[in-house]
Amino acid sequence: MPAAPPTVKRRSPPPESPVAGLIARRRAREAAAERGVFGAAILLALTASGFAGYTLSQPARPYDVREVLPALAGPFAWKRTVAEARAPEPDLDPLVTGSLAETPTAPAAGPVAALPERTGPPPSSGFALRRAAAGQAVVEGRDGLHEIAVGSTLPGAGRVLSIRSTSAGWIVITTETIIGPTAL
């Protein structure tokens, strides 16, 4: 008789461990939570862009707060009309701060350095510096002597921005010119 083929005993797969099942379920929950958060973020983005598109596509309507507030909100002095407001003109002068008076006060008496006296009429530019100190000076113009200080206005030369000593001597810097002891 022929020999029977040897039978191979098949083994059943090892039973799944309880820990492996817990890990698989936890991963499935995390994936579902991530999909939910991602979907919520997309929904929020679409809602925000839809709201912006809606507000831009609507015509402008006047809004009156009196229609919204209840009558018991309190008495208000409502204006019937709004007056046209004129836009203020920009003042680009760096010295105007709102803390200085419009008309400059007389400079405080103090030591003033005397410059060499020059005889004859003032230079053709209009002004010559006669005496100077930090913050104040005496300038000669066609119409006579002017005591000036930083911030004051010199007729024909504008507002005085600075009175300073340089290596070449004292100078007065205004919004329109620079005044020195000689014609510049």
When mean pLDDT is compared across 18-22, 74-78, 137-141, the lowest value belongs to 74-78
**Which residue did the predictor score with more confidence, 73 or 6?**
6
What token pair was written down for 177? 């010119």
Q: Rounded to an integer, what distance in angstroms lies between the CA atom of residue 88 and that of residue 86?
A: 6
Q: Report pLDDT digits (tens) over 49-83.
A: 888 888 778 777 666 666 666 666 555 555 555 55
- Alpha-carbon distance values, 41 to 48, 51, 117, 169 (Å): 11, 15, 83, 71
User: Would the pLDDT of 106 be above 70?
Assistant: no
Read off the pTM.
Answer: 0.35
